[in-house]
Structure 1
Amino acid sequence: MEIRITALCRNGCTDFVPQPRRLHLGGQGAEGVDTLEFLLPSDWAGKNVSLYVEHADGVRQLPLLLGADGCVPVDRRFTGAASGRWMLAVTDGEGYTACTQPGSYDVYPTLSLDDEGEEPSQSLYEQFVAQVMDSARQVQEAVDQAVQSGSEAASAARDAAQAAEQASNCLLYT
């Protein structure tokens, strides 16, 4: 489901408005079925965007840090309650902070599948660490590949030097 965030200037201030504002997210307790894709203003590129969810009973879920693709799976953060509110918050660590107007969501009731409690969700810090670790892994793979390419280039240069020396020796003795 695509959700476009539009910056609107009203009465001298900027409002960030989600469209659609109300989300219908399937069955209560469902997860992994749908994905929310946030289409963000270009000004937000490179900034930290977090999704905040509050159930209708006032219980707030741990915020979820959006990835670079702006996508979030619909999980029990949403579907753990019949309805609630959501919003995005954006920061850059240098004093910029913006929030969307809150939207709402609902899910249809389902029969209970089990009596297990909800799994704890990751904190923003844990999500950030996971993203950093993934980036570090990608960098290490690139470094390893560069080292391998460098070794292969050095080996090819040695082979070429030996071939040139052999050719030179052949010319001297003929």
Structure 2
Amino acid sequence: MIPVTFDTVATLQFGSEGHPTSLHFAIPEEWKTCKIRLHLRRSDGSFVPPMQLDENGCVKVNRSDSGKTGGQWMLSAESPDGKVSYSRIGKYVTPMEVTQ
């Protein structure tokens, strides 16, 4: 489980081709009533459409989402009244980078 706070700066490691990576975030109490989304920016600068976490703080990321090399990630939390909060930006790596 990846703990998330406003100060989170974790490096995520994604799985190999054809194997989605299940990410499970420990969501702060103040975000429990929010819609929480994972945002990815690939190393080429392109953005992946935000992926909504389920009620358990989980989301599956496919290699097609992450790209061949790493990039950056963050979470957003949208409250019922429309206010949006963000975690700090972290980075992610792929198997190609880990083996180099």
TM-score range, shorter chain: 0.7 to 0.9
Q: 1:3 is aligned with what amino acid?
A: I
Residue 19 of structure 2 corresponds to residue 31 of structure 1? yes
Alignment deviations for residues 59-86 of structure 1 (CA, whole Å, 9 cap, x no partner): 10011011101101131212x2311001
Partner of 1:63, secondary structure, is: strand
Residue 41 of structure 2 corresponds to residue 5 of structure 1? no
TM value normalised by structure 1: 0.51
Task: Give the helix-richer structure, 1 or 2.
Answer: 1
Task: Give the strand-richer structure, 1 or 2.
Answer: 2
Contact kept? 1:3, 1:18, Cα under 8 Å: no
Correspondence list, 1:145-164, <5 A: none
Correspondence list, 1:44-59, <5 A: 44-59=31-46
Considering only CA atoms, is the larger Rg found in Structure 1 or Structure 2? 1
What is the distance in 2 between the residues matched to 1:81 and 1:87? 19
Gaps of 5+ in 1: 7-15, 110-174
Q: 2:31 is aligned with what amino acid?
A: W
What is the aligned partner in structure 2 of residue 74 from structure 1? 61
What is the distance in 2 between the residues matched to 1:53 and 1:4? 18
Q: Runs of at least 4 residues of structure 1 off by over 3 A?
A: none
Q: Which has the higher contact order (CA 8 A, sep 6+)?
A: 2
What is the aligned partner in structure 2 of residue 122 from structure 1? none
Partner of 2:14, secondary structure, is: strand
TM value normalised by structure 2: 0.84
What is the distance in 2 between the residues matched to 1:31 and 1:67? 19
Deviation at 1:23, TM superposition (A): 1.3
Gaps of 5+ in 2: none
Correspondence list, 1:20-169, <5 A: 21-27=10-16, 29-32=17-20, 34-76=21-63, 77-78=65-66, 80-109=67-96
Q: 2:61 is aligned with what amino acid?
A: V
